[in-house]
Structure 1
Amino acid sequence: MIVSIDRVRVSAITAALPAARLDMASLADEHGALEIRRIIESTGIRAVRVAGALSTGDLCEAAARHLLAATDVRKESIDAVVVVTQTPDDFMPGAAVGLQARLGLSEECLAFDIDYGCSGYVYGLLQASMLVQAGCRSVLLCTGDVTTKLLKPGDRHVQMVFGDAASASLIEAGDGRIDYACRTDGSGASHLRTPLDYANGSHGSAQVGHLHMSGNEVMNFALTRVPPLIDQLLAHCGIDKAALDLVALHQANQFMLRYLRKIMKLSEAQTPIGLSEVGNTGPSSIPLLLAGGHGLAGRARKESLLCGFGIGLSLAAARLDLSATRLIAPVNVVAPLVPDRLAAQVSV
C-alpha cells in the first residue's frame, strides 16, 4: 500500500534510555573472547541498555515528559496518544491508557496501542497522521520496548543484539505531506516472535516464552524487500535516491545496514548508523537514531526517508520533511528505588 497524507508534520522527536548498560565485552567469560569480538565486529554493537526494574511505561513516560518540557505544546492540546509496543506493562489494558493517566491528559484524549516492533515507528506515524487528518490537534506518538526481559539467558544471538529504549514524537497539523509505503508477509511470522502459550501456563495463566529470531531469514527478508519498497515509494514521490538528504533505517545491526546501503547505492552521509552503544531497540530505533544526533545537527533533512523492517514479517517506509523537526537529545532514566515512582532523568 502507498498512501499520501497532506497537512501534517512531525514537530519534535526525543527518546529515553535506561541508564544501566550491558557491555558485550563482559560476556567474554560466558561465550569466549574471540566469539564476542567476532559478533561485535559483525553487528557493530558494543553495548546495550537494560531496563532492569524499569517498565515500558516508565520509559515512555520519561520520553514524553522530556518532549513536553522541551516544547511549548500544552497537554490540553493533545487529542490522542498512540503507543507502539510489544512489551506493555500489563497484558490488559494497553500501555497508552496508562500513559494518558501518568501524564494527566484529558479524558477526551484517544489512547490506544499498536502491537508492532521493527517497522512500528513508521506504522505509528501513519496512524498519527491519519488522526491529525481526521481533526486531532496534536498526537503524542510513543514507542517503547523492554525486550531484554524476553531474552533466554545465554542466547548470545539475541542477548548481544537487543536493547531497551523508548521514544516520543509530536505529530501536528502543518504544511507538509508524508508519503507512506507498507508491506506485510505474515507467512514469515515464525522467524521473529515471542510465543504466548495459553495451554501450559501455571494456575490457568498464559505463559510468555522467550524471544526467538531466525537471523538469516529476517536478514534475507530485509535485503530482498527493503530496496524495492524504497524504490517504489520514491517513484511515487518523483524523487531520486541521490536527492535524499537522510535515510534513517531501522537499526538492526551494522552488517545489514551496510549491505542495504551498498545495494541501494546510498552514501554513508545519507545513511547514519547509531547502534553501537544501544543495540537494536525495535520500534524506537529510528527515533532514537534521529534524537541521538549522529551528525544530524545542522545538516539538511528536507528530503528524509524512514524505513523499518522485521517482525511480522513487515516493512514500512515514509518520505517526509524533517527540516523543521526539533530533534531533542535523549534522556537517561535511572531505575526507581521506590516502587511505582519514576526516577530523575539526566540528559545524555
Structure 2
Amino acid sequence: MSGNSFASISAVSYYLPSGSLTNEQLSKAFPEWSVDKIMQKVGISTRRIAAKDEFTSDLAVAAAQRLFEEYNLRGDDIDYLILCTQSPDYFLPTTACLVHDRLKLSSAAGAIDINQGCSGFIYGISLARGLIAAGDVKNVLFITAETYSRFLHPDDKGNRSIFGDAAAAVLVSADPAGGKIGRVILGTDGGGAKNLIVKNGAVRFPKTDVQTMREDEDGNLFNDNYLYMNGTEIFNFTLESVPALVKDTLERNLLHQEDIDLYIFHQANKFMLDYLRKKIRIPQENFFMSMEHSGNTVSSTIPIAMKRALLEGKIKKVTKVQVAGFGVGYSWGGTVLQF
C-alpha cells in the first residue's frame, strides 16, 4: 500500500448518556451557588452522566454505531481503531479490544488505547494521520470516550459543575472528501502533572479506605481517591500555552489568523474560553462554543463541537477550521482542518 500525503476527517458523530446533572440539582446540593452563578461562571446548564452500569466501552460503542449508521459504514471498512480514554473499563485488556469485538471489526484491524485528556483529540488524529501517511491503513476509526464523573467526589462542587460523560467517533481516511488534516503542533510539560490528577487508584498509589477530605484554594473538598484540579494553575497554563499554540499552528500551516473561518477549542468552560478569545483577538462570530448541554467532556469536546458546527452550517466547503486541545498532563495540540 503506497503512502498518502493527506488524511481527512470524513465522518463525525457522538453519543451522550441519558443521565444528567443540572444547575438546579447542583444549586440544591450547594445552596451558596445559585443557578445563575453556575451558568455565568462555566457556561454549562446540564452535564450528561453515565449510568452506574454504563462504562467507557459502552459509550464508545454507541458513538461508533451512530457513526456507522449516519455515514453508511461497516466494520469491514475499518483498518485500525484508536480509543482515547483516561477512564478505561480495566487496567488490561485495552478497552479498544473490547470495543473492537463489540463492533465486529476485522481481525486484521489493529486496536489500541491512548491515555490522553483534553488534548486527546488532536493527539489521536495526529496518530491516525501518520498511519495513513505511512501507507499502512486507509481508514482509522478514532473514538474519544470518558466517564470522568466517576472520578468526582460528591462534595466537589467545582469539578462537578464542569465535567460530563460522553463519547465521539470520527473516521480518519485517505478519502480527500471531508476535513483535510493539516500540519499538527503538539507539546508537553509534565511538570504540571500534579495540578490535574487522580492520584490514587493505579499502581504507584492504590486506592485507600481513608476518606479524610481536604479543601483547595477555591473551597472545593477533595481527597486523593478522586480528581484534583488546581484551577488557578490550570488557568495560568492555558493562558500561557494556548495563544502560542494558535500562533505556532498557523505558522506551521503557512496561514495567518485572518485566514481561519472558525476556531474550535477544547470546551473547558465559558470563562476560560471567553478570556482566551479576547486575549488572542478572535472575532466572536468566528469562535464556536458548544458545551451548555453536555459539559466539559474532556477529549470529546472538539469532535462534539465540530459535529454541532456542521449541523448548524458553520462548516461548509472551503472552510478552514483551527482546532486546539489543552489540559491534563500538561499537554496541548493544534492543527487546521480544511473542509
Kept in 2, the 8 Å contact 1:192–1:214? The answer is yes
Picking from 165, 173, 178, the partner of 2:182 is 178
Are the equivalent residues in 1 in contact too, given 2:181–2:335 (CA < 8 A)?
Answer: no
In the TM superposition, residue 33 of structure 1 has moved relative to its aligned partner by 5.2
* Structure 1 SS opposite 2:79: strand
Where does structure 2 lack aligned partners over 5 or more consecutive residues?
210-223
CA contact (8 A) 1:290 1:296 kept: no
Query: Deviation per CA, 1:70-94, whole angstroms, max 9, x where unpaired?
Result: 2133322211000000011111111
Counterparts of 1:36 and 1:294, CA distance in 2: 30
1:211 counterpart = 2:227: yes
| The structure with more strand, counted as a fraction of residues | 1
Partner of 2:165: 164
Does 2:149 match 1:148?
A: yes
TM-score normalized with structure 2 length: 0.88
Q: Which amino acid aligns with 1:225?
A: S
Contact kept? 2:309, 2:315, Cα under 8 Å: no
TM-fit CA distance, 1:32: 1.2
CA distance in structure 1 between the partners assigned to 2:163 and 2:50 by the alignment: 12
SS of the aligned residue for 2:235 comes to helix
Whether 1:87 and 2:104 are equivalent positions in the alignment is no
Q: Give yes or no for contact 2:200–2:208 (8 Å, CA) kept in 1.
A: no
Q: Secondary structure at the match of 1:81?
A: strand
SS in 1 for 2:194: helix
* % identical aligned pairs: 32
Partner secondary structure for residue 41 of structure 1: helix
Q: Distance in 1 between matches of 2:127 and 2:11?
A: 17
- Any idea what SS the aligned residue of 1:187 has? helix
TM-superposed CA distance for 1:170, in Å, is: 0.1
Secondary structure at the counterpart of residue 76 of structure 1 = helix
Cα distance in 2, alignment partners of residues 216 and 122 from structure 1: 24
Partner of 1:189: 193
> RMSD over aligned Cα, in angstroms?
2.0
Q: Deviations over 1:16-72 (max 9, x none)?
A: 000111111122232115455323211111110000221111111011011111213
Within a 5 Å distance, the mapping from 1:121-270 to structure 2 comes to 121-135=121-135, 136-175=137-176, 176-197=180-201, 198=203, 200-201=206-207, 209-270=225-286
- Deviation at 1:131? 1.2
Describe the SS at the equivalent of 1:174.
coil
Amino acid at match of 1:130: G
> Can you give the 5+ residue segments of structure 1 that lack an aligned partner in the other structure?
324-348
Normalised by the length of structure 1, the TM-score is 0.86
In 2, the alpha carbon distance for the partners of 1:253 and 1:200 equals 31
* Partner SS, residue 272 of structure 2: helix
Q: Which amino acid aligns with 2:321?
A: S
